[in-house]
Amino acid sequence: MDDRSDEAYVGKLIERSRLLIALSDEIPVETKLETQPLLKELERLVAVPPAEQDEERVRSTYALLYTALADYADLEALLGAMKNFIHYL
């Protein structure tokens, strides 16, 4: 994968989100446990070329993440940045 591809940028944003979730004292453990698998799933879904992506699954996984993390400004910003690289969101 090209390091400057949209998929690579989303992967980097997912990694930052994972780290931020793990280190945050604000986020309840339950939310941390719920969102880590969602981040893993989103990472898997967007790792393939856009033409091969399951847009509906990407949208639904993203929506679940956004719902769970929108109350945390830093994570909301990272999720918002992801929308810039996942063009059909």
Quick: pLDDT tens for 10-66.
Answer: 999 999 999 999 999 999 999 999 999 999 999 999 988 889 999 999 999 999 999
Q: Which domain holds residue 11?
A: 6-85
Q: Is 62 part of a structural domain of the chain? A: yes
Q: Is 1 part of a structural domain of the chain? A: no
Q: Is 11 part of a structural domain of the chain? A: yes
Write down the residue that tokens 């992506």 correspond to.
53
Q: Is 20 part of a structural domain of the chain? A: yes
Cβ 17 vs Cβ 9: under 8 Å: no
pTM for the predicted model, two decimal places = 0.90
Q: Domain count for the chain, please give it.
A: 1
Q: Count CB atoms within 10 A of the CB of residue 6.
A: 17
Reduced to 3 states (helix: H, G, I; strand: E, B; else coil), residue 3 is coil
Q: Is 56 part of a structural domain of the chain? A: yes
